[in-house]
Structure 1
Amino acid sequence: MSIDMNGLTADVSTHGTQTVVALAGEIDLSNHVALRTALNDLIVGGSVDLVLDLTDVTFMDSTGLGAMIGTRRRVHAFQGSLAIVLTNDAILRVFEVTGLDKVFDLYDSRAAALRKPDTNLSQA
């Protein structure tokens, strides 16, 4: 399934019990509400073990971080998990500067996030 959100696209696929949401484009003020809504719909629909793949995200502002924080809260309220795949150093830096790299489970590849090893970018 593919979702278009004003310059941001999301391709959703299922891998075992995990749902991968591969995002591409910019996450900003113009589309963060649509992103929150799409992620919330997945969670309420039963997809509570999410992998957000930000590999193709080229920019993310504070509203994007807010969407990530809200998604983490909702997933945990449903006893689920959230893993984030980051390969863009600039976006990883946003997580580091805000201290959110200590809050989220960050991985450097989708394969690693799907395996959910004990070692991830947050713990490295």
Structure 2
Amino acid sequence: MRLMIKVEAPLEITPNPQGGWTLVFWVLDNFNYKAPFRAMLVEIAEALGQNPARSLSLPDYIEDEDFVEGTLLFEGASLRVYYEHGLSYMTLANTDYDLLMMVAQRVQPRIAIA
């Protein structure tokens, strides 16, 4: 069963202060430590045609985790993953703007704006 990724604003690609670009998902429920961001990342990997078990690398789950960083492999590139429960947003970052545009286009059918 597919999970709709619920966001409160349309996806956007912004300049990354560390260089490159960032695809931003403004997820609902600030400070909700039960927000299913890991399930959202699995859904994103599947939307990209990736096997989440092989393409998604995250640290082990910790109760009340925050500031989670990892990677998602796509098209031979490594996307930097970041999720913050406090401000309730998730990002995928890379130096290739066109790659992030492709990710946004493929994920868009699974996005629901609240």
Bin the TM-score by the shorter chain. 0.3 to 0.5
Structure possessing the higher relative contact order (Cα contacts under 8 Å, 6 or more residues apart): 2
TM-score by length of 2: 0.33
TM-score by length of 1: 0.31
